[in-house]
């Protein structure tokens, strides 16, 4: 198949490119470097010409609710129209597990993206994945001040980015598949505790503290477990500990 990848240089998009290319598919990276602006739609029709499927793994540079919902909704609108015009057979999209009750930030943006794709004529398959193991690395980068990381109280079931990419690639190429798949790791984790394990392997920061911000509209939902998988979710390894051992081996 010929598959166009939006966000081919991102964490998930890059993995999907590797997986599909290794399986013998022809992969086209849709990016600014290739003359495509997915937000304005410039160059998108030509980029999707001849594609059998599209994978949307685009990421946004903001978490401000208005900006990110506009970004994801606008991009999805451009892609669905260009895909319909190009005769694309299906679109596979990466999203986040449990986002339905959220009204702010990245979660709201991904929900807007899902809704925008659902309004189009091209069949859409959505992979709702739990936060990735790699999210602990991002959390340390975002929340560390001095020698302490202040991690929002969150119940989660982290999954490896590579595992999510494998499932997303499968949704893109399979002739028959559900229109939505929920994916999570093998067991529930506390985000602060998992991030503390990562910090210990890295050797910094010295402290990881769990915090609850009542002014964050997502805080109560995250703490209550809204991002955990439901009973029909696919659970897949590696575990967080296995991922951690591979990426940050113990030195003693």
Write the pLDDT tens digit of every residue in 181-226.
999 999 999 999 999 999 999 999 999 999 999 999 999 999 999 9
Q: Looking at residue 250, what is its pLDDT?
A: 86
Res 68 pLDDT > 90: yes
Note if the bond before 238 is cis, omega within 30 degrees: yes
The pLDDT value recorded for residue 162 is: 98
β-pair type (207-211, 148-152):
parallel
Q: What percent of the chain has pLDDT over 70?
A: 100
Share of the chain above pLDDT 90, in %: 97
Work out the pLDDT band at 34, boundaries 50, 70, 90: confident
How close are the terminal C-alpha atoms of the chain, in Å? 47
CB-CB neighbours of 190 under 10 Å: 14
Q: Would you say residue 251 has pLDDT above 80? A: no
Task: Tell me the per-residue pLDDT of 37-57, one tens digit each, with 9 for 90 and over.
Answer: 999 999 999 999 999 999 999
pTM over 0.95: yes
- What's the pLDDT score for residue 110? 98
136-176 pLDDT per residue, tens: 999 999 999 999 999 999 999 999 999 999 999 999 999 99
Residue 252, pLDDT above cutoff 70: no
**Contact of 98 with 228, CB cutoff 8 Å:** yes
Question: Within a 10 A sphere around the Cβ of 3, how many other Cβ atoms?
Answer: 23
- Going by the DSSP 8-state scheme, the letter that residue 35 receives in this structure is T
Res. 238 pLDDT band, cuts 50 70 90: very high
For residue 106, give both structure tokens: 């990245």
User: How many other CB atoms sit within 10 Å of the CB of residue 37?
Assistant: 14
């Amino acid at each position: 198949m010929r598959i166009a990848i939006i966000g081919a240089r991102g964490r998930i998009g890059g993995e999907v490119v590797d997986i599909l290319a290794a399986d013998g598919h022809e992969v086209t990276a849709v990016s600014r470097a290739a003359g495509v602006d997915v937000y304005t739609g410039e160059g998108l029709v030509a980029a999707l010409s001849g594609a059998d499927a599209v994978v949307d793994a685009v990421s946004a540079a903001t978490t401000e609710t208005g900006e990110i919902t506009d970004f994801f909704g606008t991009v999805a609108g451009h892609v669905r129209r260009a895909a319909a015009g190009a005769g694309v057979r299906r679109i596979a999209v990466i999203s986040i597990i449990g986002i339905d009750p959220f009204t702010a930030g990245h979660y709201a943006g991904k929900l807007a993206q899902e809704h925008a794709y659902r309004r189009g004529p091209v069949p859409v398959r959505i992979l709702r994945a739990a936060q990735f193991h790699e999210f602990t690395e991002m959390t340390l980068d975002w929340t560390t001040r001095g020698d302490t990381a202040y991690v929002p109280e969150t119940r989660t079931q982290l999954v490896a980015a590579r595992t999510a990419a494998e499932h997303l690639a499968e949704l893109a190429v399979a002739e028959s598949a559900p229109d939505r798949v929920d994916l999570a790791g093998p067991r529930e984790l506390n985000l602060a505790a998992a991030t503390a394990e990562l910090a210990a392997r890295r050797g910094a920061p010295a402290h990881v503290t769990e915090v609850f911000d009542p002014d964050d509209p997502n805080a109560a939902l995250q703490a209550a477990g809204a991002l955990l998988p439901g009973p029909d979710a696919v659970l897949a390894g590696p575990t967080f500990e296995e991922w951690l051992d591979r990426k940050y081996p113990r030195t003693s």
